[in-house]
Amino acid sequence: MGSVVSPRRDVFPASFAALPRLVELARTRARALELAGAIVRGAAHDHGGDALLADCTAAVTELRELVDHRLRTRPDDWLRSFRDLLATAGQYHWSAVLEDFADDFYPLPCPHCAGEVTVAIGAHGCYAAIRDWYRGDVERRPLRSASPAELRGVGRWMYDTATRDGQADIAWGITYLFGRAQCPHCAAVFTVAEEYTAANLPPCPGR
Ligand SMILES: [Zn+2]
């Protein structure tokens, strides 16, 4: 590392130095597993975090296996552990933003007209709309969920893991997250997950 940039910068690599030891402890201790997961999730928030993780490949691989093993036991805090799993797989975006689909909103710009669209996935409905300060979500258009067979890549993996572990609500939400929305402004159709990811890529010069 170079000279001191900020206090946080100082602390961050130290936590990575502790990762291999923490993962060793995590084989038998739940608290160590939790801490190790939090360190890897934190990698998303720091430029250079990826490089630090690359130095700990073996520890991250073992952590991923330990977290996956825990998920199969269907713990009460399944979603939190699943966010750890996503981070160990390098899926920092979904690790940071995935919720339980009880009441989730994904604001994003339409890729065609750039108009602001609010995508809702939850008990209140699954739709794309224009969010109006006074009138709520107007001009709602229903989302089209992806069938499990249509899912590819990370969406498929997320869906399969949730299904494997009996997380029916999460699996259900993922089919909408990786499904299609229609823009209420211009009627263009797009994939929610793709546009939401593109809208939230961290500004990371040099990557
Ligand atoms: Zn549009």
pLDDT tens-place string over residues 162-198: 999 999 999 999 999 999 999 999 999 999 999 998 8
pLDDT for residue 1 is more than 50: no
Percent of the chain residues past pLDDT 70, beyond the cut: 87
90 backbone φψ class: left, alpha, beta (φ>0; ψ -120 to 50): left
Ligand 1 center–CA 160 separation, angstroms = 31
- Mean model confidence pLDDT for the chain: 88
Ligand 1 center–CA 126 separation, angstroms = 18
Ligand 1 center–CA 140 separation, angstroms = 13
Ligand 1 center–CA 49 separation, angstroms = 35
Ligand 1 center–CA 176 separation, angstroms = 19
Ligand 1 center–CA 202 separation, angstroms = 23
Ligand 1 center–CA 186 separation, angstroms = 4
- What average pLDDT score do residues 191-206 get? 78
CA distance 103 to 170: 12
**Total Cβ atoms within 10 A of residue 159:** 22
Q: Which pLDDT band holds residue 200 (cuts at 50, 70, 90)? A: confident
Q: Which candidate, 112, 139, 115, places its Cα nearest to that of 127?
A: 139
- Position 44 scores a pLDDT of 64
8-state DSSP, 72: H
Ligand 1 center–CA 195 separation, angstroms = 12
Ligand 1 center–CA 166 separation, angstroms = 36
What is the model's pTM?
0.86
- What average pLDDT score do residues 85-111 get? 92
- Position 174 scores a pLDDT of 97
Q: Which pLDDT band holds residue 59 (cuts at 50, 70, 90)? A: very high
The tokens for 72 are 């199969």
- Position 3 scores a pLDDT of 42
Q: Which pLDDT band holds residue 17 (cuts at 50, 70, 90)? A: confident
